[in-house]
Structure 1
Amino acid sequence: MRAALILQCGQLPVVAAHEPPPSGGVRVAVTAAPITPLDVLCASGTSYFGAPPVPYVPGVQGVGALPDGTPVWFATDAGMRPGDGSMAEYCHVPPADIVELPPDADPALVAALGLSAVAAWQSLTSCGDLRTGEQVLVLGGGGIVGQAAIQIARLLGARRVVAACRSSRARSRAAALGADAVVPLLDDDTVPDLAARLRPALDGPLDLVLDPLFGVPAAAALQVLRPGGRLVNLGGSAAPTAPFDSATLRSGSLRILGYTNNSLTKPERAETMRTIAAHAAAGRLTVSYEAVPLSDVSAAWQTQSTGSATSRLVLLLR
């Protein structure tokens, strides 16, 4: 079969013939596989999982079909544990990591949503406890998590959703997906400056912040949260630390919560993925993505690894 192969950690994948060693699990004919930051990190050999044995097929998630034709989404441990992932024509997957999809779900869209949409959904619900009628601020609203979060907050009954985005493309995207107001994030932002731009975009108390950025954006968001408000952090793409102080937290009795998909059980992940796929199939949930053929995996991987991707890159295997 054809597959994307990591021959050496830190190098671009190449397309080659590959026959995986015999293993258990269900044989899935792969249709689409996203190239995610986690894939790139694992293949670099610098993640906390350690350097993976090479050669291996990357891809921590994908969409395909079972032998009987049933469409499925699936997860793998590729790059985190020995074994192959989704970026091949076929993948052997444990049954517990397979989720049946609606027959009319778009494989490329579901692949693009994937675990990023799972993180957005769970951050807003089980972690952030979003309630009907609340106002939500989505930091990084142009990213995949942010795009999903804007729409999910709406689906869950938020009365108002505000997005903060860095590029003009991201701001236009957030507005098109339903954000009531969009605030620019600037490279030279200070906490007071950004907080001053956020305040007029809000309509009444801000109840919940979804934060995949941390750094100055998170600190500014804390300045405009209502007393007792919640901030859910699920990433640090802006900075690994944030400049906020004890007085800000104590004076507002604010709550800062951390989220990772690793906290989910496999049944919880599967149920969330089924919900996301159902909304996507019904036209209620989408994200921007670019479909690329397997033959272009090296160039697409380079685009993702340099941070120049403007949408989710999804490999098409069929």
Structure 2
Amino acid sequence: MWAALIQTCGAPSVVTTRRPPEQPDGTALVAVTAAPITPLDVLCATGISYFGAPAVPYVPGIQGVGIVRCSAAVPVGTVVWFATDAGMRPGDGSMAELCAVPDAELVPLPNGVDQPLAAALGLSAVAAWRALTWRGEMLAGEQVLVLGAGGVVGQVAVQAARLHGARRVVAACRSRSGRQRAHRLGADAVVGLTDADDVGTLTSRLLDACDGPVDLVLDALCGVPAAAALRTLRPRGRLVNLGSSAGETAPFDSATLRSRSLRVLGYTNNELTAEQRMRALGTIVQHAVAGRIEVAYKPVPLTDAATAWARQAAGQASRRIVLTTTTSP
């Protein structure tokens, strides 16, 4: 079978042929149709993530969509989303024509689902949905500020806030295309972010875009944007952090936190049970099938995985890259 392969930590992936995976008891053999290349995939492959250096060589891909070819638990032919531990624990992932997946990690998808779209949504969409509704405890009628609205997490967060009855959604992101997309997805106002921003000036721009104090900030950036967003919150407002693409630290000041009794909360998908993840993903995919949730993605043949991986690693991907195969039911 064709597969992307990480042969050395920190080195680009290569595309090669590889033996089909064995299928231990309790697993399903899945013919992969779509596998996203995510920032976490690239981070794990560097060998410097908090998961430690992965055992090489291995097939990357922490999630994917495919068709069940053999399973004792799920009917053959079922279209499923699945998760793997590739790059975090020994074993291969989704960026191959075939993948052996524990039956417990399979999430059946509805008929007619756009499989590359489901793959593009995946864990990023789950993070946005759960961070907003569970960790952030969003209520209808609240004003929500989404930092990093150009990425998949941010795109879903803008739409999820709308679906949950936000009275106003303000988005913040860097690229012009991301800002245009955020408007189209339902943001009432969009603020551009730049490397030259300081906390004070960015706070002013965010407040100008908001209709009074913000109730909830969904923060996929950290850094200066998070510190500025914190200053827009109402008393007892919440900021939920689930990423650090703008910096590993944010310059919060004690006076802002204490004077308003603000809550700064962390979120990770790793805290979810398989059932919680399954329910969230199922709800998101239903909205996607109905046309209420979408994200920008670019399908790329699995045979071009090396070039696509290099683009993601270099930060040159303006859309979620999804590797696809010619597998059919």
Query: Any idea what the Cα deviations from partners look like across 1:128-168, whole Å, max 9, x if unmatched?
Result: 00001111000011111100100011111111100011121
SS in 1 for 2:231: helix
2:28 to 20, 26, 29: 26
In 2, Cα distance between equivalents of 1:53 and 1:137: 40
Secondary structure at the aligned position of 1:69 is classed as coil
3-state DSSP class of the match of 1:66? Answer: strand
Q: Does 1:15 align with 2:15?
A: yes
Residue 313 of structure 1 corresponds to 321
What does residue 6 of structure 2 align with? 6
CA deviation string 1:6-49 (max 9, x = no partner): 12222222221111552421011100000011111111112222
Structure 2 CA distance for aligned equivalents of residues 167 and 13 of structure 1: 27
Q: Report the equivalent of 1:173.
A: 181
* Aligned residue in 2 for 1:184: 192
2:130 is matched with which residue: 122, 125, 142? 122
- Is structure 2 residue 199 aligned with structure 1 residue 197? no
Q: Write the distance in 2 (CA, Å) between the matches of 1:225 and 1:48.
A: 31
d(CA) in 1 for partners of 2:21 and 2:159? 42
For the aligned residues, what is the CA RMSD? Answer: 1.0
What residue number does 1:263 align with?
Answer: 271
| Deviation sequence 1:72-119 (CA, Å, 0-9, x none) | 100000111111100111111001111000111100001111100000
Does 2:168 match 1:160? Answer: yes
Matched, 1:217 2:239: no
Question: Which residue identity lines up with residue 206 of structure 1 in the other structure?
Answer: V
Task: Give the Cα separation in 2 of the matches to 1:125 and 1:252.
Answer: 22
Structure 2 match to 1:252 = 260
Alpha-carbon contact 1:162-1:180 (below 8 Å) kept: yes
Matches of 1:142 and 1:50, distance apart in 2: 29
Whether the 8 Å contact between 1:20 and 1:84 is mirrored in structure 2 is: no
Match of 1:42, as an amino acid?
C
CA distance in 2, matches of 1:204, 1:102: 41
Counterpart of 1:60 in structure 2 is 62
1:308 Cα deviation from its structure 2 partner? 1.2
The answer to whether the 8 Å contact 1:142/1:173 transfers is yes
Amino acid in structure 2 at the alignment position of 1:132:
A
| Partner residue in 1 for 2:73 | none
| Structure 1: 4+ residue segments shifted above 2 A | 20-23
Report 1:102-117 matches (<5 A).
Answer: 102-117=110-125
Partner residue, 1:291: 299
SS across alignment from 1:208: strand
Superposition TM-score, scaled by structure 2 size:
0.95
| Matches of 2:56 and 2:244, distance apart in 1 | 29
1:21 and 1:266 mapped to 2: Cα distance? 23
The aligned length equals: 318
Gaps of 5+ in 1: none
Residue 172 of structure 1 deviates from its aligned partner by 0.6
Identity %: 65
How far apart, in 2, do the equivalents of 1:146 and 1:208 lie?
14
Partners of 1:41 and 1:200 in 2: how far apart?
Answer: 36
